[in-house]
């Protein structure tokens, strides 16, 4: 395949037409039962991946597996379109879900969650081999999990080991998560070729720092928790934000001023949606189109998971509609 974003983006634009439109999402919301919800999905492009989700007696575990399968197939197809530096850049985008999965893995092990529970909560769109994730999830503790990821040779293994050591020393899961953020963004920025991708990554970094500062508000902020590479929040701003000074957050103030961490995360997700859209608009011949498409696909799957759970437990359609609107 040529290292040519013109070709890649033309294919992605075709794939974008296969995302569920507002009419189809409305149909899932208006379904009168869980079985009707599944019937609506079986009439969409997701039908090929539903598998056991529509079988007699199937439940949410089968639905999650089906949606995960569809997400993996979509992300993998985008990755296989590219070669050369384009493949490296798109690979970095997919490693964003490796970052999420390693954090989920660490949280699950730290809280004593079982192997199957951890595996079911992982996103299948990343690049870590399933066998490595299984070995890590069944390892029993974070330090052993880090060794399992190291054996896989994954680029984030070093950051995971450093984070596991930091967590062991401090007893704080946050130290591990920030070490992973730092390792991921350092690598991503080194690989990013175009200004649009670097701008998008910088936005992610600023939002990450804003959320960390929001979580630490009122505490003594450790400067080592700062992730470098953003455009809005500098190291000194980060310390001030943690102390409660929201005046240095620029256009990220809504995250910092949100009344709860949950609401701050909702505002952060919306900001990332806008950043992904802007990346596509400003980089029609580069990786920006892939940034936006993968973000849209992630949102679609998250909404379907939420709607599916609502239908399974009989949540009223209007309540579901309100919840989906903020996802």
pLDDT digits (tens, 9 = 90+) for 31-69: 999 999 999 999 999 999 998 888 888 899 899 989 999
- Helices within the chain (DSSP H only): 5-16, 22-30, 34-42, 47-50, 60-81, 84-110, 115-120, 130-137, 142-152, 157-170, 173-191, 195-215, 235-242, 253-256, 261-282, 288-312, 317-325
| Across 254-266, average pLDDT | 91
The 10s digit of each residue's pLDDT in 163-174 is: 999 999 999 999
Residue 317 lies in a domain: yes
Euclidean distance between CA atoms 147 and 157, whole angstroms? 8
Q: What percent of the chain has pLDDT over 90?
A: 74
pLDDT of residue 3: 58
Q: Is residue 176 one of the residues assigned to a domain?
A: yes
CATH of the domain at 301: 1.20.1690.10
Per-residue pLDDT at 248 exceeds 80:
no
Distance, CA of 246 to chain centre: 26
Residue 3 within a domain: no
pLDDT band (50, 70, 90) for residue 128: very high
User: Does 250 have pLDDT greater than 50?
Assistant: yes
Q: What is the pLDDT of residue 139?
A: 94
Neighbours of 1 (CB within 10 A): 13
* Residue at 243 is within a domain: no
pLDDT over threshold 60, residue 107: yes
Show the CA angle centred on residue 124, arms to residues 165 and 185, nearest 5°.
45
- Count CB neighbours of 167 within 10 A: 21
Answer yes or no: is 36 within a domain: yes
Query: Tell me, what's the pLDDT at 146?
Result: 96
- Per-residue b or e along 281-294, where b marks 16 or more CB atoms closer than 10 Å to that residue's CB: eebeebbbbbbbbb
- pLDDT higher than threshold 60 for residue 261: yes
Residue 312 lies in a domain: yes
DSSP 50-116: HGGGGSTT--HHHHHHHHHHHHHHHHHHHHHH--HHHHHHHHHHHHHHHHHHHHHHHHHHHTT--HH
Measuring CA to CA, which residue among 266, 230, 262, 260 is closest to residue 248?
230
The C-alpha atoms of residue 315 and residue 22 are separated, in whole angstroms, by 20
> What's the rounded Cα separation, in Å, for the pair 47 and 40?
9
Answer yes or no: is pLDDT of 327 > 50.
no
Domain annotation covers residue 241:
no
What is the mean predicted confidence (pLDDT) over 210-239?
Answer: 89
Q: What pTM does this model have?
A: 0.89
In a domain? residue 225: no
Contacts of 150 (CB under 8 A, 6+ apart): 157, 158, 160, 161
- Write down the residue that tokens 């896989």 correspond to: 152
Mean pLDDT taken over the chain = 91
Angstrom distance (rounded) from CA 16 to CA 215 = 35
Distance CA 83, CA 270 (A): 31
The per-residue pLDDT for 120 is: 85
Whether 326 has a pLDDT exceeding 60, the answer reads no
- The number of distinct structural domains making up the chain is 1
Q: Above 80 in pLDDT, residue 22?
A: yes
Query: Per residue in 282-292, pLDDT tens?
Result: 998 899 999 99
Cβ neighbourhood burial of 169 (10 Å; 0-12, 13-18, 19+): exposed
pLDDT of residue 26: 92
Domain assignment of residue 87, given as a range: 8-194+283-325
């Amino acid at each position: 395949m040529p290292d040519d974003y013109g070709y890649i983006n033309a294919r992605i634009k075709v794939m974008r037409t296969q995302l569920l439109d507002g009419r189809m999402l409305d149909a899932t919301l208006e379904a009168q039962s869980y079985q009707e919800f599944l019937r609506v999905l079986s009439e969409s492009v997701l039908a090929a991946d539903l598998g056991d989700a529509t079988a007699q007696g199937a439940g949410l575990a089968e639905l999650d597996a089906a949606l995960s399968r569809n997400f993996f197939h979509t992300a993998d197809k985008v990755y296989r379109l590219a070669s050369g530096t384009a493949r490296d850049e798109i690979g970095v985008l997919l490693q964003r879900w490796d970052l999420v999965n390693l954090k989920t893995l660490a949280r699950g092990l730290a809280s004593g969650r079982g192997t199957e529970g951890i595996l079911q909560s992982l996103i299948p769109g990343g690049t870590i081999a399933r066998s490595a994730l299984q070995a890590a999830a069944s390892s029993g503790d974070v330090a052993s999990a880090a060794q399992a990821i190291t054996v896989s040779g994954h680029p984030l293994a070093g950051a995971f080991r450093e984070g596991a050591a930091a967590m062991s020393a401090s007893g704080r899961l946050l130290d591990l998560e920030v070490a992973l953020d730092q390792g991921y963004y350092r690598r991503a920025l080194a690989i990013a070729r175009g200004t649009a991708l670097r701008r998008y990554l910088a936005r992610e970094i600023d939002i990450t720092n804003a959320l960390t500062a929001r979580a630490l508000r009122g505490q003594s902020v450790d400067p080592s928790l700062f992730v470098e590479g953003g455009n809005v929040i500098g190291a000194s701003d980060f310390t001030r934000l943690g102390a409660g000074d929201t005046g240095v957050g620029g256009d990220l103030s809504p995250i910092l001023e949100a009344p709860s961490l949950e609401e701050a995360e909702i505002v952060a997700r919306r900001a990332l949606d806008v950043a992904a859209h802007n990346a596509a608009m400003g980089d029609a011949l580069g990786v920006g189109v892939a940034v936006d498409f993968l973000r849209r696909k992630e949102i679609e799957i998250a909404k379907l998971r939420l709607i599916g759970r609502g239908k399974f437990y009989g949540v009223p359609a209007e309540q579901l509609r309100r919840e989906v609107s903020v996802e």
